[in-house]
Structure 1
Amino acid sequence: MDQTNSTASQIAFGDFLKVDIRVGRIVAAEAFPEARKPAFKLTIDFGPEIGTKRSSAQITVNHTLGELVGSQVLAVVNFPPRQIGPFISEVLTLGVPDENGDVMLIRPDRDVPIGGRLY
């Protein structure tokens, strides 16, 4: 990547290390009809150190409830909980936009131990 033409803000490596991104396994997924934008409620197991956390994710275009349970995802686990309608989202499940701007989850391409930290 050409550093001189980058539009992204630069941060110190130490700041990046403050963001705790972990791999977890989705153990439950359900519709979230009360959300303003279409979303699913996810329950994600991050292992014994972090435990099970809940997340709201706007991933309904590229993902189905049936495919989500059992799959691994990456999430930021050290943001404060956020109220989303009647739901408390405890982690930020990570994704990137596809060519239409709809979110695709970021997932390991093979199973890895849950709770593992991204470095």
Structure 2
Amino acid sequence: MKRIYQIIFLSAVLAIEYLSITTREIEAVSHSWDKLNHALAFIVLYVLFSLAFTKLSVKVKIILLLIYALQIEVIQYFIPRREFSLLDIGSDMFGIILGYILIKLFAREMDLTQSN
């Protein structure tokens, strides 16, 4: 099951990367609140990351996801009609925190072995 979570996590990372760097107008994304999109994406990423890589510490997961968030913003700085935004990174962090809370709330039910 862990391998399936790893594949889903990688797929989510690639999909989010594409949505973050494309210059195409994607209606479902562009007509919703941008900060909510960021938070939801990083909730999903943290939950999938936790399911896929149970032996990584919470600290390592958070650091890696924040590096990913920063990478997205740096790339967007160089893309036409996109910009670097600290508010986006803040929304990403908020999503990571909510993802962490979800994992903690449901860890017993899902029988996860998380190391902190």
Under a length normalisation based on structure 2, what TM-score does the superposition of the two structures give?
0.22
Which is richer in helix?
Answer: 2
Which is richer in strand?
Answer: 1
Which structure is higher in RCO with an 8 Å CA cutoff and minimum separation 6? 2
